[in-house]
Homo-oligomer: A and B are copies of this chain.
Amino acid sequence: MSKAHHRKKHPEAVRRQVLAVAARLSLEKGPASVTLDAVSQAAGVSKGGLLHHFPNKLSLLDGLFDDVTQSLDRVLAERMKVDPEPKGRFTRAYIAAFFQPEGLEDGERWKVLTVALISEPHLRDRWREWFDRHLVENVGTDSSLDATLARYAVDGLWLDDLLGVSVIDTAMRATLLKRLLDMSRL
């Protein structure tokens, strides 16, 4: 008879904790280490408890995907709202979101998303939808070659950062940021 059984119940907190643990595991020990046993244990919940929130592993991964993309949507929307210039607005929000994530939680989140996308083919389809939606919404303002190039560069920097090969120093990083923002306006 464990204590967990008797403690107060906070379903939403448990859910968040589970997702957080799954994300951390995926980043630190690779996506293969994200097992129901490992996640539930590290989250302080029994496997049964975990499976109550996410009926199977796929739904756990989907939950992770939803969590991250919703965060990303929120951040992008906020940044776009305070940007007076329409042209390249989405691109600038994109740059800002990945270049200077608010708090380091967000940065971690985007990384998790990348790892999940690449290792789980099923999520690639969902990502494609997300991507297409944003692309269609911002066609006209963010379809220029320069804007596209800027977003590609952000993705590349992001990937290198994730792999730990980002050798760019702080000063150069700042210059690059300026440069990318300029490109979004061309």
Contact = CB atoms under 8 A, between A and B. Distances in A.
Q: What copy number does this chain have within its complex?
A: 2
Nearest to A27: B121
Interface string A149-186: 10111111111101111011000100110010000000
Interface residues of A, number: 41
Contact of A175 (B119, B145, B155): B145
A135 interface: yes
Given A30-B121, A152-B157, A156-B156, A165 B115 contact: no
Contacts of A167: 132, 135
Given A30-B121, A118-B114, A128-B165, A160 B155 contact: yes
A31 interface: yes
Contact of A119 (B28, B31, B157, B160): B31
A164 B128 contact: yes
B145 A172 contact: yes
Nearest to A120: B30
A160 B165 contact: no
Contacts of A168: 148
B172 A148 contact: yes
A176 B119 contact: no
A159 B165 contact: no
Contacts of A120: 30, 32
B149 A153 contact: yes
Given A114-B118, A148-B168, A156-B159, 11 more contacts: A28-B121, A29-B121, A30-B120, A132-B167, A149-B179, A152-B153, A152-B154, A155-B156, A155-B159, A156-B157, A156-B158
Interface of A: 28-32, 114-115, 117-121, 124, 127-128, 131-132, 135, 145, 148-149, 151-160, 162-165, 167-168, 172, 175-176, 179
